[in-house]
A and B are shown apart, each in its own frame.
Chain A
Amino acid sequence: SQTIHQWPATLVQPVGSPLSLECTVEGTSNPNLYWYRQAAGRGLQLLFYSIGIDQISSEVPQNLSASRPQDRQFILSSKKLLLSDSGFYLCAWSVRVETGSGYTFGSGTRLTVV
């Protein structure tokens, strides 16, 4: 069966520090991968999605970046965190180009920038 792992679960980082959140998927090949953010009191905002290795699409201009060095690994990074980067970050995967397959989400990372 397919599983998705996301870590760490919680993170407190000072402003200006770097960030690296990792997400891996098991039990499937060539998944679409996504990073979402849920800010306090807001919905799920799509940050990045990837349809293949080194193929990243960005939805929102920001100081975050994403990379996909391997087929089932998706990394969210920042060189210098801002206070506004605080939020709940979710990684998700879906079957490639199959409408309606839905997403499977990881358990999320609560990031607090102080």
Chain B
Amino acid sequence: DQQVKQNSPSLSVQEGRISILNCDYTNSMFDYFLWYKKYPAEGPTFLISISSIKDKNEDGRFTVFLNKSAKHLSLHIVPSQPGDSAVYFCAASAYNNNDMRFGAGTRLTVKP
């Protein structure tokens, strides 16, 4: 039961351009969404989050957009840098739930 879906396994972007990573979810009880970044052989690290009462959250080069009616969120990275190359996981949780559901991840490659 894949409640969080990242349908693009990989994305390649030129340095300086915008990277857009997409995520869809099915559980309408989810009210908090997060993006994690993962390098090989390391644990994921928290990147940015958004609660369901907002539709946009920005932190430097990273912006997350939430469309609740479409059950869709996206992560925008602009400008993209080679150091952004990693696997990005979308995650979602519901209030008072003790676990978080992750998507399958999208491997971003930023070419110099």
Residues of chain A having any CB pair with chain B under 8 Å: 6, 9, 32, 34, 36, 41-46, 49, 51, 57, 59, 88, 90, 92, 94, 96-97, 99-100, 102-108, 110
Contact = CB atoms under 8 A, between A and B. Distances in A.
Contacts, number: 68
Given A100-B93, A102-B46, A105-B45, A32 B104 contact: no
Contact of B42 (A57, A102, A108): A108
A36 B41 contact: no
Contacts of B105: 43-44
Contacts of B36: 105
A44 B31 contact: no
Contacts of A90: 43-44
Given A99-B97, A100-B51, A103-B91, 20 more contacts: A34-B99, A43-B6, A43-B102, A43-B103, A43-B105, A44-B89, A44-B105, A45-B102, A49-B99, A51-B98, A59-B99, A92-B43, A94-B100, A96-B98, A97-B96, A99-B96, A104-B46, A105-B44, A107-B43, A108-B43
Contact of B49 (A32, A102, A110): A102
Contacts of B6: 43
Contacts of A44: 44, 89, 102, 105
B53 to A, nearest CB: 11
A15 to B, nearest CB: 23
Nearest to B100: A103
B21 to A, nearest CB: 13
Interface residues of B, number: 29
B34 to A, nearest CB: 6
Contacts of B89: 43-44
B34 A110 contact: no
A95 to B, nearest CB: 11
B32 interface: yes
B94 interface: yes
| Chain A to chain B: the 8 pairs with minimum beta-carbon distance, closest first | A105-B43, A43-B104, A44-B102, A100-B32, A99-B95, A102-B46, A49-B99, A43-B105
